Structure 1
């Protein structure tokens, strides 16, 4: 139980609703900022304006999955008002207050470092990333079907990267009958691709490996599909970029060549927001319970 915990929830999408539901069930006291247009109510949660919240009593601050923009603005689909997180706000919180976000950026890193608050990036955790790969794969399949005129079965697909998402994507498309090859850089990843019964290739050979593709799925958050690589793709290739913004694709050049390239980060929140929210809620509730228990032990 999270009785006596005070938690500020700042903005977000439908995933945050599952987090709010779970934490209020565990008896936490929640302050919802950026939710004034939300018709739904939760026992134990109150809607507040940012300037009216007493951050000095907060045990935790929960941000949306994307965190903040580079200007500190927080995504708020349930509000028309801007919510901006600043160093000054964090300085008002107790020293033990933790900031929870899906991912981070230079701005969020900077203000949490200046305020000496702990930032927890949930998507850096293996459990969250692996659970989230399930709705990500389903969303990728949906996009592939919607944006091609061929079956996945017997199509030629390259998956770039064998991280937690890349592995799930490659395995699932192979199970659907696609001819899947997987690009990686580490020798251990190339060995794992072989063990999975798929075709491995090194990123050094990427230019040659894209010449016969129907679909290219990128999971690498760096510019890997540059103009030189895209120039060697058939014009009917579909690129699905799952990497976090801005992705790893030269979208300008892809459009110039007439190649459809789709940036699709955050698929879990789009195709299965309830499941994606429950994944985050379960992990968050355990982390918060651990924090509460540690503080109780210290205070004894």
Structure 2
């Protein structure tokens, strides 16, 4: 339970609404900033203005999964314009206050460190990232089914990367009857791919494996599908890039070559915001409850 805890939420998408609902259910109270156009009501919440006074009362600041840009901007689907934070706002937070975000860019990390705030990068926690990979994989598969004229059963599919999303995606594609090849760099990942009875391909051989693919899923947040690689691919191949922006595909060259290449980040917020929000809320609540109960065994989850 979060009795007595007060959280300040700034911006976000539909996932954030579920996080709010869950922490209120756990007996916390909340101030909402950047939610003026929200058509949903919650008990024990209030809409507030961004001010140092508001932030000074917070036990935790909850930012969206996309976090804060380096210029302080926090995007929101529930107001006409984004919310802009400054270092003064972080200075107003009490030392030791939790700052929850999905990802943290350099400015956010620097400001939290400068003012002794406990920054929790939720998407770096296994408990969040592994669970979040399920709606990500389902969303990517849904796009593949919509954008191709073939069944996934029997399709020649390549998954680039074997992190949390890559593993879940490869597993689900194989269960649907696809012929799945996985490109990865580390020997350990390639061994696990082989153990799962999938085709393990070293990254240096990417050009040969994508040349015969019907669908390529990229999960690597770095330029991996370069012009040289794209040149080897069939014009009928569909690329679904689920890595964080800007993705890992040379989209300019893909368009020039007539390849269908789709950038689809943040799929959980689009295809399953309620599930994704509950995953986030569970971790936020667990971490705050540990603090309430005086347990300090997990300091490595924040920086």
Q: TM-score, normalised by structure 2?
A: 0.94
CA distance in 1, matches of 2:257, 2:249: 13
Once the two structures are TM-superposed, the CA of residue 194 in structure 1 deviates from its matched residue by 0.6
- Cα shift at 1:106: 2.0
* Structure 1 residues 211 and 117: alpha-carbon distance in aligned structure 2, compared to 1, 3 A threshold: same
Q: Is the Cα contact below 8 Å between 2:158 and 2:182 reproduced in 1?
A: yes
Q: Aligned residue for 2:248?
A: 248
> What is the CA–CA distance in structure 1 between the aligned matches of 2:18 and 2:258, rounded to whole Å?
40
Question: How big is each residue's C-alpha offset from its partner over 1:227-276, in whole Å with a ceiling of 9 and x where there is no partner?
Answer: 11111111111111111111111111111111111111111110010111
Residue 20 of structure 1, CA deviation: 0.7
For structure 2, list consecutive stretches of 5 or more residues without a partner in the other structure: 297-303
Higher alpha-carbon deviation: 73-82 or 194-203: 73-82
Structure 2 matches for 1:1-300, cutoff 5 A? 1-51=1-51, 53-294=53-294
C-alpha deviation, 1:295, in angstroms: 8.3
Runs of 4+ in 1 over 6 A off after TM superposition: none
2 CA distance for matches of 1:171 and 1:81?
A: 40
Structure 2: distance between partners of 1:276 and 1:54: 27
Which is further off, 287-296 or 106-115?
287-296
CA drift at 1:96 = 1.2
- If the length of structure 1 is used for normalisation, what is the TM-score? 0.95
Bigger CA drift: 74-83 or 162-171?
A: 74-83
Whole-angstrom CA distance in 1 between matches of 2:61 and 2:245: 23
Q: Is the 8 A contact 1:87 1:114 kept in 2?
A: no
State how far apart, in whole Å, the 2-side matches of 1:278 and 1:187 are.
Answer: 35
CA distance in 2, matches of 1:64, 1:219: 21
Structure 1: distance between partners of 2:88 and 2:291: 23
The answer to whether the 8 A contact 1:87-1:112 is kept is no
Instruction: Check whether the contact 1:155–1:214 (CA below 8 A) recurs between aligned residues.
Output: yes
Encode CA deviations 1:188-210: one digit per residue, 9 max, x unaligned.
11111110000001001111211
- The total of aligned residue pairs comes to 296
User: In structure 1, how many angstroms separate the alpha carbons of the residues matched to 2:85 and 2:132?
Assistant: 26
- Cα separation, 2, equivalents of 1:32 and 1:250: 39
Task: Tell me, in whole angstroms, the C-alpha distance in 2 between the residues paired with 1:205 and 1:295.
Answer: 48
Can you list the C-alpha shifts for 1:92-148, whole angstroms capped at 9, x where unaligned? 011010110011112222222232322101010111111111111111111001111
* Contact 2:66 2:101 (C-alpha < 8 Å) held by counterparts: yes
Shift of 1:52: 7.3
For the 8 Å contact 2:55–2:92, the answer to whether it is kept is: yes
